[in-house]
Amino acid sequence: MYSSSIIIAVDGFSSCGKSTMAKQLSKILNYVFVDSGAMYRAITLYFMQHEIAINDPQMVVRALENIQLAFKINPESSANEIYLNGENVESKIRSLAIAERVSDIAAISAVRSFAVKQQQQMGINGGIVMDGRDIGTVVFPQADLKIFMTADLEIRVERRFKELALQNKDITKEEVRENLAMRDHIDSNRADSPLKMAEDARVLDNSYLHQDEQLELALRWAYEKINLKNLF
């Protein structure tokens, strides 16, 4: 790890490839990667399994008190995967059913407060790459490098469709398009920590970029910040 470890915040819309790019970036820099979206998906899974009424504040708070989240390295894939109350739920949280509910549940103030506190603790010593919706604006407003990722909606639809079709051959592009449009609206318009670009963020539009090209660009930005910090 570099002598001066920085905090890298990666925000953006759904299906922009945030997690993929953030994982690659963290691996090259030997930083910790945290998928904040996985945390909200795991909470959503718990709420769905236990039929938590999201319009009942007391029920929500009690539910959160019974949730323990952790990331552990999968020795087979070397991936940092999410555990919910001791169970690896990485595969369970990637379904369309979770995707259809996660934005509503992530919009609940108590849920966001619960997740943000854990996320901030994870990055207290730097050397971290975290992706999500409000990392550069709420979780780490002091982040050394803030990247805001975006892409054309139809390109995001195509990417997400290919991913979900591997799990569900009956899914349609229209279902995916409606889900992404709904999540974009909820994420951007929620009262608590809405999705928005930090004023000092760098925009990475990867509509027509290959993964290698976007990674090269992000790495260049990261090295600039690391080298600058090493001067002081």
**Cα separation of 31 and 79, whole Å?**
13
Residue 192: per-residue pLDDT: 87
Residues 129, 10: contact at Cβ < 8 Å? yes
Cα–Cα nearest to 70, from 29, 104, 118, 37: 118
- 231 pLDDT higher than 90: no
Give the pLDDT band (50/70/90) at residue 24: very high
Q: Is the pLDDT of residue 102 over 90?
A: yes
Distance between CA 110 and CA 106 in Å, rounded? 9
pTM: 0.85
Quick one: CA torsion of 15, 19, 104, 42, rounded to 10 degrees?
130
Banded model confidence at residue 221, pLDDT cuts 50, 70, 90 = very high
Higher pLDDT, 74 or 59: 59
What's the average model confidence in pLDDT over 195-213? 96
Question: Is the pLDDT reported for residue 130 higher than 70?
Answer: yes
Cα distances (Å, whole numbers) of residue 162 to 76, 126, 156, 167, 204? 24, 34, 10, 9, 22
Q: How confident is the model at residue 156 (pLDDT cuts 50, 70, 90)?
A: very high
What is the average pLDDT across 54-82?
Answer: 92
Return the pLDDT at 200: 97
Q: What are 146's strand-pairing partners?
A: 9
Model confidence at 1: pLDDT above 60: no
- pLDDT for position 91: 93
Going by pLDDT thresholds of 50, 70 and 90, the confidence category of residue 232 is low
**pLDDT at residue 169 greater than cutoff 90:** no
When pLDDT is averaged across residues 80-90 and rounded to a whole number, the result is: 95
Q: Where are the beta strands (DSSP E) in 66-113?
A: 69-73, 80-84, 87-88
| Contact status, residue 6 vs residue 146, Cβ threshold 8 Å | no
